[in-house]
Amino acid sequence: MGLEEWERKEKKNRMKTTEQMKSFEQAYKNYIPEQVERLNENQMKWFRDAKFGMFIHWGLYSMLGKGEWVLFKERLNVKDYERLADDFSAVKFDARKWARTAKAAGMKYMVLTTRHHDGFCLFESRCSSFQAMNSAAHKDFVREYVDACREEGLKVGFYYSPLDWRFPGYFMPDLYWENALELKKQCHEQLRELMTNYGKIDLLWFDGEWLALGGMDWNETAGWFRRPDWAIGKYMKVNYFWESEKIINEIRRLQPGIMINNRFGWEGDFHVRERRIDDIRTDKPWDSNDCIADSWGYIPGRPVLSLRELIHNLVSIAVRDGNYLLNVGPAGEGDMEEEQTERLKQMGEWLACYGQTLYGTRGGPVIPGNWGGTTYTGNTVYVHILEWQKEGVTFSIPNHKLMAWGALNAANVHLEEKEGQIRIGIPVADRDPFDTIIELVFDKEIEWEGIKGTENDVYGLGDGIQNRSAN
């Protein structure tokens, strides 16, 4: 072989084909996910018993009062947005007051946005300068939050978003592959920090498993929006990009027993039903997260849910065997709106009277309906009647004999048991305005097979390669 021919051959060997330069597609082809085991029922019992938790969305976006997506939706200059940290003094931030508010509301755990999609960390991070220790406040808000939760006996939950709008590789990972890898590296390193630096953490609530919104588009009328096919787009199910299973297993090694949701390309220990309740499901824990004032991040003057609405939401979720994660968005200075804290106080007062019918119970054995539903523990069933249908409510609990019953907050109750059917009737004037509760005691512990449910979303499904093995 002559020298010129050898050089031509070497040059050809060095050249990559266009297919070889599609790093994003190569990541999919090469990824072999690890097996991730869900927690067992005993490990998740605290969550099922808790029923009610506080969600907190708070960060730089709170200073602008336009919600947590303001950087993205209004297409702000990233560098100008980052400079908000210079004025983020949070002079009214008081984690103990937050925790006391949650406890007074009857909540049993809290979940704080340690970092949202804008990339600003409320904790000290070695891999990002865009963090609270470099803000005007110069403090680790997450540490104070964790300490406050523990002081009040509340379980500690972290929200974390893997994505970061400041990275071009998030929007175009194919084109800016190295930048996308930096985004992933930041995600993994910050998760290690959160799982290492704050003692025992009980729950990790992921949000943002997608890239480029799972199918992003823009026009003059709508601005940024998701295309109709976003749920099946290649940027939605990208566990292979994040190496989700790998980092989740590492999280489990650092925090044994931590509960993890389904929003990081893995099925999760529990499922999230965002702003919806849906049907009863007893085979897997789930939470329904929603806002007390119709916005996750702070927007001043938003209407606050009434006490009746809060009670109906909590009960409707509990009788379907789920948890209610209720969001409060403090203002930029760190204080919660007075109307919201007052409503939470009212909720706590109601739960102080009737919480025993929810805490530590399971949804069932009666299938809930528009009228309400039931919870149970041991041989006791609590009937929650939220909306009356004509003159009464009728249901059955097969293979169990009713031994005793009583009304917790109603008078002139007429209860009739006939041919396996239980019918409850109460005059309109004697019904509770929020939730009429009847206690039923049976001859033996409640036994039923429960309901295996399905979910009406695409989160936590990965890209269909979870079962790919190295063999």
| Residues whose CB falls within 8 Å of the CB of residue 192, separated by 6 or more in sequence, listed in order | 250, 254
Q: What is the pLDDT of residue 154?
A: 99
Nearest in space to 346 (alpha carbons), one of 436, 438, 287, 434? 434
Give Dmax over CA atoms of the chain in angstroms: 106
454 DSSP 8-state letter: -
Give 119-158 as a DSSP string.
--BSS--TT-SSBGGGSSS-S-HHHHHHHHHHHTTPEEEE
183-211 burial string, b = 16+ CB within 10 Å, else e?
A: bbebbbebbbbbbeebeebbbbbbbbbbb
Q: What is the pLDDT of residue 454?
A: 87
**Cα-flanking dihedrals φ and ψ of residue 59, to 5°?**
180, -160
Q: Are 185 and 193 in contact (CB under 8 A)?
A: no
Q: How far apart are CA 232 and CA 228, in angstroms?
A: 9
Mean pLDDT by 10 residues, the chain (471 residues): 69 73 91 94 98 98 98 95 98 98 98 98 98 98 98 99 98 96 98 98 97 88 85 90 97 98 96 97 98 97 97 98 98 98 98 98 97 98 93 93 97 92 96 98 97 91 66 41
* CATH topology identical between 23-357 and 364-442: no
Q: What is the pLDDT of residue 219?
A: 86
CATH number of 23-357: 3.20.20.80
Measured CA distances, 52 to 129, 272, 413 (Å): 35, 14, 29
In the CATH hierarchy, which top-level class contains the domain 364-442? mainly beta
Domain-by-domain residue ranges, the chain? Answer: 23-357, 364-442
Q: Are 305 and 292 in contact (CB under 8 A)?
A: yes
